[in-house]
């Protein structure tokens, strides 16, 4: 099986990590649009044009069995245009509102994402349809994905920086307090240990990667085994070599878009 996995930066590697647990044989081409990172504050039409341009540059030659848009900021917007343009099955990454509402005991859930993701109609509709009786706090951080990139590039990111970004997720309204935080940006699970350490109280953190990996298995049913080949392409600076190496990827090559 051959997959394209795409994100604006390193975030999609949280999804790759999970796919490799069940399919270590998968051939994976990882594409990071680091020239335009972060996506979080981009205007919707700019983001759609950009993701379509990147897919135009990589998909036709790849003969992928599926393309994973491992980015909530993009998936909540660009899946319809991508599906209209390419025949390959797309698997998206969208906020895990449904499992969060199903498991919250206090009925107080926060969605931690980029500003773009929390603004989307897609996210609001998910909450309306699957949020049940939970009260949701939508927390859009412009900085958190950048902090993750910096940490994974070897910079020292202080606890206080993480604490400030996640603080609005922790709501105590006197009667009940948040017990579930949806990690609605694929960058965030990569630093979950840091987020846990600075959280004002313990919560369940929902990482959608295992569900995405299961979906990938379903849509690629029938594709033969892969050879475990890996490649990385980046439109700008290469994503974290340490993390890539840990997941068995070689050095990144440049992708001109």
Q: Pick the closer one to ligand DGL by CB: 170 or 188.
A: 188
Phi, psi of 212 (to 5 degrees): -65, -40
Q: How far is residue 65's CA from residue 53's CA, in Å, rounded to a whole number?
A: 20
Strand duo 66-69 + 27-32: pairing: unpaired
In the complex, minimum distance from the CB of residue 185 to ligand DGL, in angstroms, rounded to a whole number: 4
In the complex, minimum distance from the CB of residue 37 to ligand DGL, in angstroms, rounded to a whole number: 5
Q: Identify the CA nearest to 112 among candidates 45, 31, 196, 48.
A: 196
Encode 58-90: b = buried (16+ Cβ within 10 Å), e = exposed: bbeebebbbbbbbbbbbbbbbbeebeeebebbb
> Which residues are identified as catalytic?
71, 185
Question: Which segment (60-68, 103-111, 183-191, 242-250) binds ligand DGL by CB under 6 A?
Answer: 183-191
In the complex, minimum distance from the CB of residue 165 to ligand DGL, in angstroms, rounded to a whole number: 12
Q: Does 73 participate in binding ligand DGL (rule CB under 6 A)?
A: yes
In the complex, minimum distance from the CB of residue 13 to ligand DGL, in angstroms, rounded to a whole number: 10
Q: How many residues touch ligand DGL (CB under 6 A)?
A: 17
192 sits in which H/E element:
helix 192-198
Positions 130 through 169 that interact with ligand DGL (CB under 6 A): 145
Count CA within 13 A, CB hemisphere, residue 191. 29
Give the contact letters, 97-136, x = binds to ligand DGL (CB under 6 A), - = no.
-----------------x--x-------------------
User: Site residues (CB under 6 A) for ligand DGL?
Assistant: 7-9, 11, 37-40, 71-73, 114, 117, 145, 185-187
């Amino acid at each position: 099986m051959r997959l394209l996995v795409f994100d604006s930066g390193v975030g999609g590697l949280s999804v790759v990590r999970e796919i490799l647990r069940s399919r270590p044989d998968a051939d994976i081409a990882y594409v990071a649009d680091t020239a335009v990172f972060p996506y979080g504050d981009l205007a919707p039409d700019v983001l759609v044009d950009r993701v379509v341009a990147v897919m135009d540059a990589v998909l036709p030659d790849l003969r992928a069995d599926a393309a994973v848009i491992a980015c909530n900021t993009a998936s909540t917007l660009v899946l319809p245009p991508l599906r209209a343009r390419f025949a390959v099955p797309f698997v998206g990454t969208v906020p895990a509102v449904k499992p969060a509402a199903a498991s919250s005991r206090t009925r107080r859930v926060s969605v931690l994402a980029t500003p773009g993701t929390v603004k989307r109609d897609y996210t609001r509709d998910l909450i309306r349809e699957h949020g049940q009786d939970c009260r949701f706090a939508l927390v859009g951080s412009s900085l958190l994905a950048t902090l993750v990139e910096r940490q994974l590039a070897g910079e020292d990111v202080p606890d206080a920086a993480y604490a400030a970004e996640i603080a609005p997720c922790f709501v105590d309204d006197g009667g009940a307090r948040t017990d579930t935080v949806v990690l609605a940006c694929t960058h965030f699970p990569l630093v979950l240990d840091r987020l846990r350490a600075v959280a004002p109280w313990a919560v369940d953190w929902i990482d959608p990667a295992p569900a995405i990996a299961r979906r990938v298995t379903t849509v690629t049913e029938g594709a033969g085994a892969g050879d475990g080949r890996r490649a990385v392409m980046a439109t700008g600076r290469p994503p974290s070599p340490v993390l890539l190496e840990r997941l068995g990827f070689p050095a990144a090559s440049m992708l001109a878009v």
